[in-house]
Structure 1
């Protein structure tokens, strides 16, 4: 930067008047103005500089300007001046920059400093213009902190927040969205938001935006509704979406709040299914309980009449039919009680010996009709204990075995039931196969529904066994499958082997 010549003998300028005007200007400007000589000693210190630093002029005039600087500027200042005089290398002269300064009371503050070089009567001097920017810096810091807090709030909300521009390009996408959709911010920013939508929303989205811009007709803006979203892995899921229109610096943006409602929908489906099952249960139990009672009452009239007519054989036949009806009623009541207990029972996990459960169940079922004609084959390949809820597991085993015994094909001279247990990939697997009557393919979709009886003429059943078994498998975190091939029916139960 060129030096500023100062010629006090100029005939065109009244020196005294000029000096007065210059002093008035220096005394009234908002910025602090300090002049130093080539040794760094302060030569002048205007009123604004007094206000900024807290020093009176007599406290600083003649002293090194580094007294107004904190470290590291304090110790480096003299070296900087000497380097400039030796090399002519200007680092701050002619440039403005932000530095730190120190007031009389020791506080450090931010200031903008502009330094220029001038020559007066052949002597090199420097004039510094100073502006206290501590208030501005504090405001900037407060703004940054507020922005950081706002960002933290947005990033840590449970709901996803997406902002798009007028053409549907994503501009903001918070951390909750990353968890919901599986895409990172870097993968979606600048891309059309329809990438997060399955069909038909995907192909309709741009047209909806264009229609809104053309007509002003709002279909979802300002209104919450349930839509489908699409994750990075391609799966679709239900979500609640509410969209707001916002205007920032003349730009129109759309802010969408999304909430994954997959679990809520599952809960609603479970409640709906439970209500349907309850309704079915109420109807069927009242019907199935009433039917054998009505039948028995009518048979009692027939038996009474046979006794009065001394028809002993006829009376005994009627009593036998009454016994059969009441036995069916007892079995139904027993299954209903079991179902009620399993729904309400709170049971802890424990180590269960699977071989013991299977053998105890077979001993319990030996009284069943035609048990003795079956070939029971046990193929145990699981030696350790199973960590599970014992009562639930016993119910599963007993139902599988009793069904295989009950629905055997008595016309087959080689009827068998094969039980296999083994471990695979930390899963416990139990299979029960038999060559009995099987289940018609047309009815297999109803396999685990309540009150479904597949061979009512062969043997009486409440129709609750398979339903209770499936519910117990679900409670234990497993799955049950049925396969019917080559006249062989197989139930396969897969359970977690432990709690890990």
Structure 2
């Protein structure tokens, strides 16, 4: 209940100030209208009891309408409530006039003026005009009806009745006069506030607007200015006109540009330009001019200009400072012999040096604003973007070595250092990077690694060589030493048969030692002592090698099959390459096995890379996979009972490698063996 009473006696408030004020006006009028009937009802009770029912009915209807309007008002329907209020009052006084004294009664003479004033306060001018005209027309109709006996007034108002009704109407008129003054005061207050806001804005803004007139002779006259004109120029409007106006304050270097802008306006074209002018104190300031021509269609000529001037002096100073910074930055970047760049947080290039542009194959200005995806191949671009995002996330510098492809398609090694760029708040806003080509270093590292691996292999081979040589040389020496003792004993005894056996055993040991030393000498010569390279066919090479092992081939009853020879040209040390075929064939005949048909195939083919591959294939006993690499090692004999020193395949491998090729074995036990090799 208290809330209802509070709302009833308090005008509503809304976010819209204009709506709130309109609601206040209606609120006051409604309360005034609630008390208007009181003097009239009291008068009727004491002086005209016969009209009491009519007076009470009018009062009840009026108060119900007022209460309904209070409801609409607090619900926010201010405009609707205002229109209903005006309409209801007009209808009330119309009915009162028709059922009462007509145009001579208080309803018409006092009521209609009251309605018109309320309409003027609460509604628009169009609505007020409509109510006024409607009242005049209604009055005319009532006069016509009375004159023709259509409408007969129920009574004529007397002076006392008129005075009593004025007791209600006049206070209401006072209320309306008060509200009219409030309307005017509110308008003045809003205008004053608007003017104050305009003054404050003008005091802090750096823009002003202007308008000019152009006379038939083409002269331009400044008509008015608004905004921060005085702040920007230092002149009052009058002082500016007296000092010569716009053209007298132009920077000498911008006079021609201003003339070009004026020519554009005379062609009925908008102008947007940046001009330097001087202020009253002599200070030079930059202004951004936006001018729009006012065109006279009758004369097809310029008759005026409206536009705005924005002070951009600080912006220009900042641009110049930024330009100097960028020039210094560019000079620093171009002074770096390596590839260098700056990127924003979106990984778009904002600055690159000349070396970067050369690598990419574009001009530096063509790279600015592009992303890695617009410059590099997709896989490289994705890698670069990933590293940028990592820097953005962690704020840490990164170092990496990677391959890169330049604008010509050349792939090379680089080392890259990327560092985050922080703003004053410590946020990462970009990256700076430097890349240096390290292809030569990588090549040197690779060569060093290869040399280290080769040296380690040589050392291992040397250790094996030392061990084997000492062992294999020691064995015949022990034999010789032992049989020399037997030789002495048998000589003393005169046992010539045993003596002959001792000498034979010593000779075998010497031959074995001599064979070992000869093979070791051959191995040491490969790579150091080579015959000059010559050209010959692979067929000739195979023929010479087979001639050297013909006796062994015939003894072992081995068939030789030549495949895919086709007079293939070979370049190299013919003698050494003959040794390769000779050793491979010799090796094949030793491990043929018990099969009746023994075959060795020699030929060539091309692999998937179109590389020429030579081979020697047999159908012998085969070699288990675990020995495929081992057999090329020094002194590695899979069967110690066979003849030879175990150096043959080592010699073959060394000769092939000296000729820029490589050799490998494919074999399975019981399925024979195939030695493949290539030559440069």
Per the normalisation by structure 2, the TM-score is: 0.46
Query: Are 2:380 and 1:185 aligned?
Result: yes
User: In the alignment, which residue of structure 1 is the partner of 2:56?
Assistant: none
Change (3 A) 1:279 1:471: same
The structure 2 residue matched to 1:86, chosen from 245, 249, 267, is 267
Distance 1:475 1:230, change over 3 A: same
Per the alignment, residue 338 of structure 1 pairs with 522
1:490 paired residue among 654, 657, 673: 673
- What are the equivalent positions in structure 2 for 1:22-421 lying under 5 Å apart? 35-36=246-247, 43-44=248-249, 49=251, 65-66=255-256, 80-87=261-268, 89-93=269-273, 96=274, 114-115=288-289, 137=323, 139-147=325-333, 150=336, 153-154=339-340, 184-191=379-386, 248-249=422-423, 250-251=426-427, 265-345=449-529, 350-366=534-550, 368=552, 371-391=554-574, 392-409=576-593, 412-421=595-604
Specify which structure has the higher proportion of strand: 1
Residue in 1 that maps onto 2:68: none
Q: Give the SS at the match of 1:456.
A: coil
Question: 1:462 and 2:462 equivalent?
Answer: no
Q: For residues 116 and 454 of structure 1, do their structure 2 counterparts lie closer, same or farther at Cα, with a shift above 3 Å needed? A: closer
Looking at structure 2, the residues matched to 188 and 97 of structure 1 have their Cα atoms a distance apart, in angstroms, of 47
3-state SS of 1:377 partner? strand
The answer to whether the 8 Å contact 2:491/2:499 transfers is yes
CA distance in 1, matches of 2:472, 2:347: 61
CA distance 1:112–1:344, change in 2 (3 Å):
farther
Q: Does the CA contact (< 8 Å) of 1:480 and 1:494 recur in 2?
A: yes
CA distance in 2, matches of 1:257, 1:184: 18
8 A contact 2:561–2:602 mirrored in 1: yes
Larger radius of gyration: 2
How has the CA–CA distance of structure 1 residues 193 and 311 changed in structure 2, closer, same or farther, with 3 Å as cutoff?
farther
CA shift for structure 1 position 393:
2.6
CA distance in structure 1 between the aligned counterparts of 2:492 and 2:326, rounded to whole angstroms? 108
Secondary structure of 1:359 counterpart: helix
The offset of 1:388, in angstroms, is: 3.5
Q: Which moved more, 1:427-436 or 1:258-267?
A: 258-267
State the shift of 1:79 in Å: 5.6
CA distance in 1, matches of 2:526, 2:265: 91
Partner of 1:2: 210
Equivalent of 1:474, from 657, 663, 675?
657
1:288 to partner: Cα distance:
1.8
The CA deviation at 1:187 is 2.0
Quick one: structure 1 residues 86 and 444, their matched pair in 2 at CA, closer, same or farther if it must change by over 3 Å?
Answer: closer
Q: CA deviation at 1:383?
A: 2.2
The equivalent of 1:449 in structure 2 is 633
Query: SS at the partner of 1:457?
Result: coil
Aligned residues: 391
1:419 aligned counterpart, secondary structure: strand
Q: Secondary structure at the match of 2:468?
A: helix
Map 1:422-437 onto structure 2 (within 5 A).
422-423=605-606, 426-437=610-621
**Larger mean Cα displacement after TM superposition, 343-352 or 467-476:** 343-352
Task: Give distance in 2, aligned partners of 1:344 and 1:440.
Answer: 34
Structure 1 residue 463: deviation in Å?
1.7
Q: Report if the CA contact (8 A) 2:563-2:603 is conserved.
A: yes
Q: Distance in 2 between matches of 1:285 and 1:431?
A: 31
Provide the rounded CA distance (Å) in 2 between the counterparts of 1:275 and 1:486.
32
Partners of 1:371 and 1:248 in 2: how far apart?
Answer: 85
Aligned to 1:158: none
Over residues 101-122 of structure 1, what are the superposed CA-to-partner deviations in whole Å (9 max), with x where a residue is unaligned? xxxxxxxxxx97644779xxx9
More helix by percentage: 2
TM-score normalized by the length of structure 1: 0.59
Any conservation in 2 of the 1:170–1:188 contact (CA below 8 Å)?
no
Q: Could you tell me which runs of 5 or more consecutive residues in structure 2 were left unpaired when the two chains were aligned.
A: 1-208, 213-221, 225-229, 277-284, 293-302, 350-355, 361-371, 405-412
Q: Cα distance 1:193–1:22, how it changes in 2: closer, same or farther (>3 A)? A: closer
Relative to structure 1, the CA distance from residue 83 to residue 422 in structure 2 (aligned partners, 3 Å threshold; closer, same or farther) is closer
Contact preservation (8 Å) 2:604, 2:612: yes
Which residue number corresponds to residue 160 of structure 1?
Answer: none
Q: CA deviation at 1:403?
A: 1.1
2:43 is matched with none
Shift, 1:395, TM fit: 3.1
Rounded Cα–Cα distance in structure 1 between residues aligned with 2:518 and 2:550: 19
Change (3 A) 1:433 1:140: closer
Question: Would the alpha carbon gap of residues 123 and 455 (structure 1) be closer, same or farther in structure 2, given more than 3 Å must change?
Answer: closer
Q: Distance in 2 between matches of 1:243 and 1:136?
A: 26
- Which structure ranks higher in relative contact order (CA pairs < 8 Å, sequence separation ≥ 6)? 1
Write the distance in 1 (CA, Å) between the matches of 2:415 and 2:305: 70
Tell me how far 1:418 sits from its aligned partner. 2.9
Change over 3 Å in CA distance of 1:285–1:482 after alignment to 2: same
CA change 1:377–1:299 in 2 (3 A) is: same
Residues 446, 193 of structure 1: alpha-carbon distance in 2 compared, 3 angstrom cutoff: farther
SS at match of 1:92: strand
- Cα displacement (A) at 1:84: 0.6
SS in 2 for 1:352: strand
- Give 1:331 shift: 1.8
CA deviation after TM superposition for structure 1 residue 311, in Å: 1.8
- How far did residue 429 of structure 1 move? 3.0
